[in-house]
Structure 1
Amino acid sequence: MTKKYIMGIDGGSQSSKVVIFDLDGNIVCEGKCALQPMHMQEPGVVEHPNDDLWDSLIVASKEAMDYFPGNNEDIIGLGLCTIRFCRALLKRDGSLAEPVLSWMDARVSKPYEHVNPEVAYVTTTSGYITHRLTGNFVDTAANYQGQWPIDTDTWEWDETPDVMGQLSREMLFDLKMPGDVLGTVTKAAADATGIPEGIPVIATANDKAVEALGSGLLAEKTALVSLGTYIAAMMPGLENPRDTTAFWTNFASTPHQYLYESNGIRRGMWTVSWFKELLGDDIMLKAHQDGHSVEEFLNREAQHVPAGSDGLMTVLDWLAPGDAPYRKGIMIGFDARHGRAHMYRSILEAIALTMKNRVDDMCAELGVPLENLIISGGGSNSTLLMQIFADVFGVPTSRTEVNGSASLGAAICVAVALGIYPTYEAATHKMVRTRDKFQPNQENQTLYHRINQEVYKDITKSTDTILKKAAAIFQ
């Protein structure tokens, strides 16, 4: 039999990635294109410049197809996953009326205001890219959370006038469930991207939910920490609870199922990138001479720093939460021992400690004990960070072979939709493989528990007072 392949698109906050898998979930080839810097012309405005989401997908897909060793006709389907909480405003012909609003744009946290008469459709990034690929005005229901008129019980539009606001039903795309066919790749899209014409485009969900599926998150008492620009933790569930405080309920990539998502860290792994760039060209030269990337070089240095970073603690409010806009990022506890490796490790420890408290709060509200932890995202490549998570959480912590798991989750949706596997569970069992597992170091676990309980958990109660005063000076 001729070998068959599946394409998974992962349109993220920092890049567009196209990965081609075989039916066992092995990566055959991939292409990637970094997104342009966000356009931030004034406070609250954060836009993807020009037609960057589509243009970057063209580059990434052409690169993937250039490296593809098989025959194009053996690619049997495409799973589409894109950034959530964005807003795309389209003209009647489906082209952009304005640049796509990022999830960080203040306008997406408010109901849509119809101020541009050219706008005929209001959709998500997945809706926009679906239209570019298929020509259809359809989208996955599972990418509509936040300021959208969606009924989260039925996964359908709520056409109640006070819910619709300034939107009309005609401005909204038709909804499909995860695993449904959105359409097929048009000749125009095939010519632009190199993706084979006529293959089915399969609906998935929002990027975090697809990442959870691609990480194998199906079991109870297991949480996934997704290390992205926004860091969040997720646990699977069947109910749609309301009025929760430690988590909110997101659509899953499996139809009519849910993901419970903890409060998270805004600009989470972005802070790691910020720190690397802050060190400048000198660290890049040293890393290059040592034969490593900057992150690998810093990880090697930070491995020699003891747990707790000799008392240096970081608070990750580089982007303040909406309910505390006065907060800023903090590093506290410096003395003469501390250098860049301490600072770097302190950031990693802050990520793990912050998410430990977020997950503990979620588990307590759900009444579910945590027994296992999965880490996904590029940060999971760091053996140091994986061990820190295991030590801070005190449970076995694993990472999968494919750490860019949103593309694999998209491929799993295709495999189930096309009948390659009968269920999501069967597909996940076959296509997702654990790379390795980290056990907690008891001594470090005890230390982190003390740091967290005695200091870190309530650190902002002590720093808020001075930051409120500073905010009155530094607007």
Structure 2
Amino acid sequence: MALTTQRSTIINVDAQGAPLRPAIVWLDQRRTAGVKPVKGLWGLLFALSGMSQTVAYLQAEAETNWLQRYQPEILQATHKILYLSGYLTHRFTGRFADSVGCQVGYMPFDYKALTWAKSWDWKWRAVPIDPRMLVELIPPAAQLGEITAGAAAATGIPKGLPLIAAAADKACEVIGSGALEPHIGCLSYGTTATINTTQKRYVEMIPLIPPYPAAVPGAYSLELQVYRGYWMVSWFKQEFAHEERRLAQSHGVEPETLFDHLVAEAEPGAKGLMLQPYWSPGLKVPGPEAKGAIIGFGDVHTRAYLYRAILEGLAYALREGMERTIRRSGTPITELRVSGGGSQSNAAMQLTADIFGLPTTRPHTYETSGLGAAMDAAVGLGLHPNFESAVREMSHQGDVFEPNPETRDLYDGLFHRVYKRMYKRLKPLYEEIKQITGYPGDGDDVTT
């Protein structure tokens, strides 16, 4: 057995593993303004390298810094700080342990060495917690423990069954999609949309923003993300797809299955309707001032054009991420795999192939995260001798979407001459909007 979970969800527990407060989930936007900056030699180095603002952002995002300010009694009572994967591991095995592949968040983890940071590392100053609160880390495909009698009684899983370390959901999606080699890009069309590649070499896409642990021992998952990715389809459904929701209810289907007809009603390029999908701010790319933008409206544009512009805007943003990945890693990306709920749309798959100009494949299942975890289990139990064998035998590619040369040229023009210029030109206006309205705020008003 192996498990994969959402990333960056924090649970403080006592010595028996009981939660001391509700989990702080990955979508939580709380931030802690005014955290004391890292001082000493590290602080000087950050100042000289222009990284002080990045470190301050990471400090503000760290859940433990928020707890220290608003709920210090919880932190004082904490025996272990767990990610969701670590919490479930304890529930299943009784051990305070977790997979290296699940370490994604604001903890003193050394992403290059793939272990907890050394005592001299700056992360301990940025996120000052007791090292005894951290759990034992186990590499992917190694054994975390065995299912206890209590867990067996609660779940029906056989007592004594080995629990094999896997990785976080996105990392498992990557290998589950068959993207084991660095020339294969894996697009995840989920709530957060990402582009990932698997690398044996440590490469930071943005300085001080590390690659995450891969679901393969000793490897890294290079990732760039659009935080509000295919969540935007849900936003469109809620705000603009009332007719599709009504029809879906009467036919007993999900509304999203009816959206491809909207894409068909609007030609590629959406008659110049361009969408920048920054419905949530970022750190560097985009920055904390970022907002979403739609430009190019005319009287011909309908909600069908808006929906196409959403899908195209997400693909443009991920193509920009691909170009950064290629520049930073030095490895060309020659093919794409797409997983997640959005990959079920033929229209989304075709426009992805056209915008990237690459053959784009949909694996035989869009739930590739669970498949990737199964690969870790298979290798860990010796059912496959290595990950190359597991990926070859367990991941099967489905439909392949080839780029249409004519449409690809249209998208190339819009991408290079319009989309890539939008953020730089709009950034000063975003900063003015934030200064005038106070939105987006710093999230420091959440105290529960």
TM-score normalised to the size of structure 1? 0.79
Q: Distance in 2 between matches of 1:227 and 1:418?
A: 30
Q: Distance in 2 between matches of 1:282 and 1:154?
A: 52
Superposed, which structure 2 residues align to 1:10-409 within 5 Å?
78-105=1-28, 106=30, 109-110=61-62, 112-113=64-65, 114=68, 115=72, 116=74, 117-160=76-119, 163-165=123-125, 166-242=128-204, 244-245=206-207, 248-261=210-223, 263-279=224-240, 281-289=242-250, 292-323=253-284, 324-409=287-372
Partner of 1:70: none
**Conserved? CA contact 1:159–1:169, under 8 Å:** no
Q: Distance in 1 between matches of 2:210 and 2:352?
A: 23
**Conserved? CA contact 2:4–2:370, under 8 Å:** yes
Q: Distance in 1 between matches of 2:208 and 2:316?
A: 16
Which structure is higher in strand share? 1
Q: Percent identity?
A: 33
Q: Distance in 1 between matches of 2:135 and 2:363?
A: 35
Q: Distance in 2 between matches of 1:457 and 1:184?
A: 51
Which residues of structure 1 form unaligned runs of 5+? 1-77
**Conserved? CA contact 1:246–1:358, under 8 Å:** no
**Conserved? CA contact 1:247–1:260, under 8 Å:** no
**Conserved? CA contact 2:10–2:63, under 8 Å:** no
- Write the letter of the residue equivalent to 2:2: G
Which residues of structure 2 form unaligned runs of 5+? 32-59, 439-448
Answer 1 or 2: higher relative contact order, Cα 8 Å, separation at least 6: 2
Q: Distance in 1 between matches of 2:374 and 2:290?
A: 40
- Write the letter of the residue equivalent to 1:315: Q
Q: 2:432 matched to 1:469?
A: yes
- Shift in Å at residue 288 of structure 1? 4.2
Q: Distance in 2 between matches of 1:93 and 1:256?
A: 32
- Shift in Å at residue 237 of structure 1? 1.3
- Write the letter of the residue equivalent to 1:100: A
Q: Distance in 1 between matches of 2:209 and 2:362?
A: 23
Partner of 2:377: 414
Which structure is higher in helix share? 2
**Conserved? CA contact 1:240–1:249, under 8 Å:** yes
Q: Deviations over 1:120-155 (max 9, x none)?
A: 111211101101111111111222244322233443
Q: Deviations over 1:416-470 (max 9, x none)?
A: 1111111111111111000110100011100000001111111122322333322
- Shift in Å at residue 245 of structure 1? 4.8
- Shift in Å at residue 156 of structure 1? 2.6
> Please, what is the CA RMSD of the aligned residues?
2.1
Q: Distance in 2 between matches of 1:218 and 1:190?
A: 34
Where does structure 1 differ by over 6 angstroms across 4 or more consecutive aligned residues? Answer: none
Q: Distance in 2 between matches of 1:245 and 1:389?
A: 28
Aligned residues: 397
Q: Deviations over 1:136-189 (max 9, x none)?
A: 111112222443222334433234065445323321111111011111222322
- Shift in Å at residue 290 of structure 1? 6.3
* Residue 243 to residue 160, structure 1, CA distance change in 2 (3 Å): farther
Q: Distance in 2 between matches of 1:259 and 1:156?
A: 15
TM-score normalised to the size of structure 2? 0.83
- Shift in Å at residue 347 of structure 1? 0.2
* Residue 150 to residue 464, structure 1, CA distance change in 2 (3 Å): closer
Q: Distance in 2 between matches of 1:150 and 1:288?
A: 47
